[in-house]
Structures are given as C-alpha cells and as structure tokens.
Amino acid sequence: MSQLIVLGSVNADHVLQVPSFPRPGETLHGHNYQVIPGGKGANQAVAAARLGADIGFIACVGDDSFGQNIRQAFAQDGMDISAVHMIDNTPTGIAMIQVSESGENSICIAAAANDGLTSEIVEQHGEKIEQAKYLLMQLETPLAGIELAASIAKAQGTQVVLNPAPARSLPDALLAMVDIITPNETEAELLTGVAVTDASSAAKAAQVLHDKGIATVMITLGSKGVYLSEQGTGKIIPGFKVQATDTTAAGDTFNGAFVTALLEGQTMDNAIVFAHGAAAISVTRFGAQTSIPSRDEVEQFIATN
C-alpha cells in the first residue's frame, strides 16, 4: 500500500498563449496551442511521484484516447494507478486555459469524468486511505467523495491535507477532519471571511481555521511566500524569486512537493522550502504537468538559490 494517497481530478488542458486576456466581445490572436495533461489532483499526484513519493492516485478518467494515455503516463511516473477508474462513454475532464504574456492564467473547466469520483468509488478504496500516512485532496471532484475519504482517513489516523481549490465554501464537518489546509489568499478569505493581504490578516484567517479544528494552516501568499500557523503561532516562510512564464500548476506542484517532504520526515519549515523550490521551477516552464520538475532539479535549485 502507498504511503501517500492523492484523491482528485484529471483534466486535458487546452492551453493557448495570448498577449492579454480578451475583453467581452474582443477577439485576440493567440499562439502555441497545446493539449497538456492537467487537473489539480493529477498535477499534485505527478509532482509527488516525480519527486520520489510512494504514491497511489484515486481518480476518474474518460474512455477517450486522452484518458487511456494519461493512465499509462501516470504509471510511467511511478504511481499506483489501480484506483484510477475509466468511465465508459464519458470524456476526460477538460480545462480551457489562456496564458497571458505576464504569465498569469485564466481557466474554465468542465468536470466530465471527474464527476464520476463519487463516494461509492471512494468507498471501494477505503483500505488504501486507511493504510496511507497522508491523504491529499482538492475540490475539483464531488464533495461527497471528498468528505467520505476524509472520514475514513480520520478514523484511522491518516493525516488529511486539503488544498481547498478551486475556492468554495465548505461545511465545518469537513474542515474539522482536516489536519493541514493550504489555501491561497482568495480561498482563505472565502473560508474565513477575512481578507488576506499580509501576515497580520493571514494570522486572523488562520485563527478562524484553527477554531474549526485544523491544527496546521498554510496560506500561500504568492511571491511573498507562505504564512505557516501551527496551533496559533505563525510566521512567513519566504519563497524564491524567479521570472514567471506560466503559473499553471504552481500551487499543485507546491502541494505535491510539500507532502512528499513530510513523508521523508522533513520538518514543516524544510518541507515548505522544498515545496517553494519545486513551485518556483514550475512557473518558469509552460503548462501543468509539463512544468513539474524532477527531484534532482529541485535539490540543485535550492542549493544554488
């Protein structure tokens, strides 16, 4: 059984580079169109696998050619794909992504096969969750499955790590089962009602999440780094400064790398620095899984920065 179980989405990312995001009614000429493997769950799983984690992935793909090929690619990256289900007569999830010249992205998604990741499928793989050390999840799949996975993990002492993205409100019952939460500023504000702009406001938001039962809160602050709060004691752990090409999957790379480092017994601070390094490399590259670095690349980057 794998030490890390990732539960989440798989998407085919249709990516187009544009000079800027179009206004309503405006047509812009883009370039460098590609179809790239993505989806928050898959990105985090691939990041963990490439960085050396012992990982299994619970997900649903379509029976289209993309779904068939991506399962093989996951296996080649070294993950257990026995819980990656193929849904008949259904396309794999898709994301339409525009990337501006500044490196920012605009994304629209259609769940498709991801909607098949129901509590019934999660229940089939309860033993994998029970025997793992960590369960890592996001919010691109049905909430009932996420809640069931968290409850299975909580009952057996598997650490629950939730990256609450895309941003949405969540029931307190789910938050109470989370051990580590990793929202960005937008997601933190939606969950807490506190607008996060700096360390002081991040501390207030973190306390709201602590009060809901979450021991460790990590609010990602973009170029400023991460605000880490453990049992109400907080600090900013700065990131690395790089020239961004495409921020797609930077947060996913961070999450996958962070849990990988925790599995190795690294301290919370060192795990965050390792994750910062992996994410920094990813934003200098184009696409989602195409941007995720190897272990050697991350270690070399951290050593020279």
CA atoms of 249 and 269, how far apart (whole Å): 22
252 is a catalytic site residue:
yes
Q: Is 207:232 a contact under the CB 8 Å cutoff?
A: yes
Q: Is 45:288 a contact under the CB 8 Å cutoff?
A: no
Among 13, 80, 246, 252, the active-site one is 252
Give the DSSP letter of residue 140.
S
CA atoms of 16 and 248, how far apart (whole Å): 12
Query: For the purposes of burial, counting CB atoms within 10 Å of the CB of 248, is it exposed (0-12), middle (13-18) or buried (19 or more)?
Result: buried
Residues β-bridged to residue 110 = 94
> Could you count the other beta carbons within 10 Å of the beta carbon of residue 24?
4
- The residue with tokens 């941003």 is 167
Active site residues: 252
